[in-house]
Amino acid sequence: IWASAYQAHPYHHPTIGWRSDIEHVSIERLKKFYDTFYWPNNATVTIIGDIDRTNTLVLVKKYFGVHKRAPHEIPEVYTKEPRQQGQRRVRVERQGQTNIVGVAHKTPEGAHEDTHALLVLSQLLGGSKGSRLYRSLVDKGLATDVSVSEHPFRDPGLFITYVFLTPGTTHEKIENVLLREYEKIKQGEISSSELNRAKAQLQSSILFARDGSYAMAGSLNEALAIGDWTFFTNLPAKIGSVTAKHIKEVARKYLTDNQSTIGYFVAK
């Protein structure tokens, strides 16, 4: 789905490359990549824990300060994904046991103000067994599981729903049910109790995901990768301030046909 949704931007490619890249890349190409990007002025040192700031900075300077800055400018990604001009569809048929429907929509960069409402929307739709898509798909025997995710990255990402079908259920039926639930959101059918429950669940999962120094460092580094460290500190409060009106607005703004990529996995 990512490869179909993104045609120009590097998000088109898997993080570690395609299988043929891994099988055929040369040592020279790997070294060139390393020598281009692996420099102190292109790195972030994150230290979490009960530390003495003065002594810690001395150690950072001692062990990291010995490395010189890059003798060249670090290349930046300059390619921007052109605006999508219509719905895209991809169908994959190969060996497997479960049919899957994936529905993705383009969303803005992670630092955008709409990201928090999109995160709450993902929770409301599929974040728990009491969520909308679980009730309309899993509880009715049409699917075995549902996954809904908003991907806040440095550049515009995707809002993706994956549905894992039960035997005998068609891809088309699942797609129709899913899009009907999207349409209900656009019409503003969100109760205050449903919204508050989704926000509380999301805030809890965020805090649990930060349990421990390693987990906290990971979450903070993800915010730095987005381009704004305050995304880490402000996220729980921003989630709490999301309103039903804002969710309705972002659903209408981003969950549109001409910005969508529909994927069917057909298990052979």
244-254 vs 192-208: helix crossing angle, rounded to 10: 80
What is the pLDDT at residue 32? Answer: 96
What is the pLDDT at residue 79? Answer: 94
What are the pLDDT tens digits along the chain (268 aa)? 999 999 999 999 998 899 999 999 999 999 999 999 999 999 988 999 899 999 999 999 999 899 999 999 999 999 999 999 999 999 999 999 999 999 999 999 999 999 999 999 999 999 888 899 999 999 999 999 999 999 999 999 999 999 999 999 999 999 999 999 999 999 987 999 999 999 999 999 999 999 999 999 999 999 999 999 999 999 999 999 999 999 999 999 999 999 999 999 999 9
pTM for the full predicted model:
0.92
What is the pLDDT at residue 253? Answer: 97
What is the pLDDT at residue 189? Answer: 79
H-helix or E-strand spanning residue 267: strand 260-267
What is the pLDDT at residue 86? Answer: 96
Spell out the long-range contacts of 233-239 with Cβ–Cβ below 8 A and sequence spacing 24 or more.
235/116, 235/206, 236/203, 236/206, 236/207, 238/116, 239/116, 239/119, 239/120, 239/199, 239/202, 239/203, 239/206
What is the pLDDT at residue 24? Answer: 95
Nearest to residue 147, comparing CAs of 168, 125, 130, 166? 125
How many other β-carbons are positioned within 10 Å of the β-carbon of residue 202?
A: 23
What is the pLDDT at residue 164? Answer: 98
What is the pLDDT at residue 128? Answer: 87
